[in-house]
Every structure is written in C-alpha cells, then in structure tokens.
Amino acid sequence: PKAEAKKAPAPSPDPVKKSAPEKTYASGTPSIAAAKIMAENGISANQLSGTGKDERITKQDVVAAMAGGFSTNEAQGWGGTRDQHRERMRMLRRKIAERLVAVKNETAMLTTFNEVDMKPIMDMRTKYKKAFSEHHEVNLGFMSFFTKAVTEALNLFPAVNAQIDGDELIFHDYADIGIAVSSPKGLMVPVVRNAEQMSLAEIEREIKRVAIKARDGKITPDEMTGGTFTITNGGVFGSMLSTPIINPPQAAILGMHNIVQRPVAINGEVVIRPIMYVALSYDHRIIDGKESVGFLVKVKEMLENPERMIFGAKDPAEVLLGL
C-alpha cells in the first residue's frame, strides 16, 4: 500500500505579544532608599533602568548597577564629549555686560514686587481687539496698557522719572519710555518719545515700528537713547518672576511677567483669576521705599480698573476706537 502523504504540521498559533508596560508617574523614579544611594554616589536616574513596580528604580537596581555597570535608558545625557569652543563677544554684548556691571557697582538697586489681576484688561482686549485692529491697523497688546498706566503713575511719582547728574537730580516733565525688545543681536531698548501724550493706538504703532527696526538691524542709536523709564516683559519667554536691572542713567525699570491662572480671595471667596507678577527695580539713592511701592500700587490699580483709571469718564470705545 502506498504510504500516506505526511500532513504538514499545522502552524502553531503566534505567541501573544506582550505590550510594553505603560509609563506612569513612577517610571524612572527612585525609591527613597535608592535616591539616597544615588545621591551619595553621584548617580542620576537617567543612568538606570527600574525593575520595580511601574518601572520604579529600587535600591536593588542601584546596587546591581554599581556592581555590574550601568544600563542607560533613552533619556541619555549630553553624550560624554568634553569638547569646547570659543567665540569672540560681539561689541553689543560687551557693551551690555559693561553697563550691567556698572549698574551693580554704581547704584543702590532694590526691587519691590506686586501682582496684577489681568482679567479686566484681558476682558477689554477680547471685547475690542478685532475692532481696534480693523480701525487702527495695529494689534491691541498688553504693552500699550502698561505704558499708559506707567505714564500716569510717573506723573504722580516724579522721582521715579528722574536721574542723578553729579550733585543734582534731574526731573523729567515728560515720559520717554524704553521698551525692551528681543532682536537677533540681543536685547535692545528703543524709546517711545512723549508716551504720556499718546493714545493706546499711537503707542502700539510706535512699539511696532521700533520693534521691526530692531529686529531688522535698522534701529539707530538716537532711537535707543534718552529714555526716562523702561518696561521689560520677560513673560514672553515664560518668566514668572525676575528682578530686572536698571537701564542707566534711569532711576527705575518695570518688569512684566507671564500670566498664570491662580486661586485668589475676592470678597471672601476663592476664585481663579489670571495673575501677573510685576517687579519694579529702582535706585534707592533717588527713590524712597514709600515712593517705589506707591508707584507700583498705582500701576496695579490702574490696570485692574482700566475704565476708571485709564479712560476716566470716557467710554472705552471712544478712547480705543476713536468712536
């Protein structure tokens, strides 16, 4: 009889592939005992792979790694190279460095802080920004509100708008506001002349004009000198709080920061509001603590009550849109 053809063995079912463990908050995090050993031996978490629950790094992982060599994970560091290179400081950077050191050595600089509830300004900006942009052909930003509030506060606290000249103080009856802007060559501070006489739209146009010139490298020295007060906004880079350095020979500088939703108490209730921390660095040789705090409080009050403080009895639409 013919031999029966051997049947090909049925293919075995594919083994079930195990999915990679899901990452959790514990992944790569050392236990208390492991962290202690790591700190004592200068070991970082990215040099180890955890075998504990949810890939937590255990004491045994650290001991085993020290005994048998490290098992690095994907979060490897710089790569171990010890190369270095030198670059010649640009003239602008050298000048900035010299001025910053001079401020520290030649002024009695202090900083006072406060916080601003930005909801009133944000609500007003949301309400009018489209019509403002269409009417004036420029965007309505926060800087114009701050500039306007600063010019009003400078009128009430003239020492903040002064400077030292030998044995005399020079008080300026105008507000030439320096606006710090970032450029490819570094930080530049073009000046908005007679900002106290400008509308919000005029301030926005002038800020846009000088910022574009600074960005394109076309700003002139005359456009960056002679300011009486400076505003800088570290918030555009994510800064929550800083101590800005005075721009000599000015007596003070205002630092804006990022806006963060924070719990605050209003009328006995906890609510979430958009808060910005503000900082005023000032030369204590010219400005007393009472004046510096009073100035910053006035700026805060005006920004939190824009209709009453900035626009007076006028309708905001009349001031913002010229209606």
Supply the residues annotated as catalytic: 284, 288
Rounded to an integer, what distance in angstroms lies between the CA atom of residue 281 and that of residue 144?
20
Rounded to an integer, what distance in angstroms lies between the CA atom of residue 31 and that of residue 252?
48
Rounded to an integer, what distance in angstroms lies between the CA atom of residue 312 and that of residue 319?
10
Structure token digits, residue 56: 């937590």
Give the residue ranges of DSSP H helices in the chain.
Answer: 32-41, 59-68, 91-106, 119-136, 142-156, 200-215, 289-304, 306-309, 316-321
Evaluate whether 52 touches 63 at the Cβ level (below 8 Å): no
The rounded Cα 307 to chain-centroid distance in angstroms is: 27
Over its C-alpha atoms, the chain yields an Rg (Å, rounded) of 30
Rounded to an integer, what distance in angstroms lies between the CA atom of residue 177 and that of residue 180?
10
Evaluate whether 284 touches 112 at the Cβ level (below 8 Å): no
Rounded to an integer, what distance in angstroms lies between the CA atom of residue 289 and that of residue 279?
13
Rounded to an integer, what distance in angstroms lies between the CA atom of residue 147 and that of residue 239?
19
State how beta strands 229-233 and 252-256 pair. Answer: parallel
